[in-house]
Structure 1
Amino acid sequence: MKLLRRLFLLLLLLVAIGGVIAWTLPAELALRWLKPDLGPLRLSGISGTVWKGQASSASAFATPLGALQWSVDKSPLLLRRVAARVNLSGGALALNGDVTRDADGSVLVQNMSFQLPAETAAPALDIPALKLHGTIDGRIDDARLANGWVSGARGSARWREAAVSGEAEARLGELLAEFSSQPDGSIAGTVKDDGSSNLEVAGQFVVNSGQFSATARLVARNGDPQVAEALRYIGEPQPDGSSLLKISGQLFKLF
């Protein structure tokens, strides 16, 4: 009996020590183990614990993103789920929202707000003659990432103080986008202007299996000469004086 009691006390001691280690596990040590699962994300200047910590510098695809902070909810771990609140700030991209990694390896993003300079969207729009100005911000209500690709998403975005410069200069007002998952597994959305400027925009886009495509009809409202000049460098001129913008490409695999 004494032996059993000693073994039981030893077991309790080991559990207590294990709990203390897990509770205070340094974030830097934990992230060394998780590094293969972080995909293109690189973190440095790590401090705090695995439950509540920060990285002074975060980058992805060799692009600096800013400082990252996180806090992990412990209760979902019992269901083999890792749920965290993340905040990225101080760089070109700002993010704040909830991220959950399920037992099957897929990632669910919820209630995520974001903000980035419009110029970061220039490669996707492929308009080399013009420089983009303004800020794009929005919200992802929910999005599912599986096997490195976005498999579903719902949210909205707004291009504030939209403007272009370069071969032509024009103020474009504010452009609005909304997107949601479709029954066939794709993500479809619409783009339009808010009616406050002399650029009229009506378009749609689709993301499917890592590919994206978009078309938009652009018109100089009220015959604005600056907007009409800018449209000479955007898309294909149409007989009615509008411009048809067509974009397609491939998304980066995230992890």
Structure 2
Amino acid sequence: MKLIKWLFALLVLALVVAVVVAWTMPADVAWRYIAPKAGPISLVGVRGTVWDGHADGISVFGRDLGELDWRIDKAPLLSRRVVADLRIKGADIDGSGVLERTGSGRIEARDVRFRVPAALFAPALDIPSLSLLGAVTGTFSKATFADGRVSDAAGTARWTEAGVSGSAEARFSDILADFASRPDGSIAGTLADDGRGDLAVEGRFSVSPAGFDAEAFLSARNDDVRVSEALRYIGQPQADGSSHLVIRGELFKLF
């Protein structure tokens, strides 16, 4: 009987020690175990705890995004859910949101806000003679990822201080995008300018695990010479002086 009591006491002690270690585990120690399974994600300068920590740098596919801060709620763990509040802050990149992983492996993103330089999308456009100016900001309230599909997603994005430099110089009005998930698990949206500048834009796009597909018609308002010159380097010229831009590619080009 005493042996059973001692074994039970040791079991309770081991459980308490395990809880204490998990509760206070340094983030850098945990990252050593997670890093081999993190794929294209890399962290440096990790400190704090598993629950409330910081990384001096986070990179994806070798692209530096900036610093990372996270906070993980402990209570949801009792129902096999991981809920993390994340913030990425770089020199020209800013993003925040809540990520939740359920017991079934489904991932939900909520209250996501982002700001990235427009130049980030240059590899997808593949226009080496022009550099993209300005920044793209956006939000979406919710998105669910499961089995390689996206559902329940809807949001907006805005290209502010839009323009190009290089072989041609031009500034545009803001360009707007609205997007939402589709039944097949992809995301589709529309593109348009805000109507206040000399570049008219009308287009659509779609994004899926297989890649992205976009099409837009661009034209100069008010016979703007600079915009007309810039359109010579973008897409296929049309008889009416507009340009037809078609983009297809793989997502990894953005990295």
Same fold per superposition (TM over 0.5): yes
CA–CA distance in structure 1, aligned partners of residues 137 and 100 of structure 2:
22
Quick check: 206-215 or 231-240, which moved more? 206-215
**Residue aligning to 1:245:** 245
Indicate if the aligned counterparts of 1:150 and 1:210 stay in contact, CA closer than 8 A: no
Task: Work out the CA distance in 1 between the residues paired with 2:98 and 2:56.
Answer: 20
- Corresponding residue number in structure 1 for 2:71: 71
Q: Which amino acid aligns with 1:71?
A: R
Q: What is the Cα deviation at residue 129 of structure 1?
A: 1.4
Q: What does residue range 41-120 of structure 1 map to in structure 2 within 5 Å?
A: 41-120=41-120
Specify the alignment match of 2:128 in structure 1.
Answer: 128
Amino acid at match of 1:134: G
Deviates more, 1:60-69 or 1:84-93: 84-93
Cα offsets for 1:175-194 (capped at 9, x unmatched): 11111011232211001101
Q: Deviations over 1:97-150 (max 9, x none)?
A: 101223343432211111111111101111111111001111132233446x56
What's the secondary structure of 2:173's corresponding residue? Answer: strand
Q: Give, in angstroms, the shift of residue 92 of structure 1.
A: 3.6
**Residues 27 and 47 of structure 2 are in contact (CA less than 8 Å); yes or no, is this contact kept in structure 1?**
yes
Residue ranges of structure 2 left out of the alignment (5+ in a row)? none
8 Å CA contact 1:210–1:253 kept in 2: the answer is no
The 3 A distance-change label for structure 1 pair 107 and 141 is same
Match of 1:217 in 2: 217
1:165 aligned partner, one-letter code = S
Counterpart in 2 of 1:187?
A: 187
Residue 151 of structure 1: aligned partner: 150
Give yes or no for contact 2:143–2:154 (8 Å, CA) kept in 1. Answer: yes
Unaligned 5+ runs, structure 1: none
Q: CA RMSD in A?
A: 2.0
CA distance in 1, matches of 2:82, 2:212: 30
TM-score calculated relative to the size of structure 1: 0.92
Distance 1:107 1:39 in 2: 17
Equivalence for 2:16: 16
CA contact (8 A) 2:123 2:253 kept: no
- When structure 1 is superposed on structure 2, of 89-98 and 223-232 the one drifting more is 89-98
CA contact (8 A) 2:149 2:186 kept: no
Deviations 1:61-89 (A, max 9, x none): 11111111101011222232211001111
Match of 2:40 in 1: 40
Sequence identity of aligned pairs in percent? 49
Distance 2:67 2:149 in 1: 24
Conservation of the 8 A alpha-carbon contact between 2:124 and 2:253: no
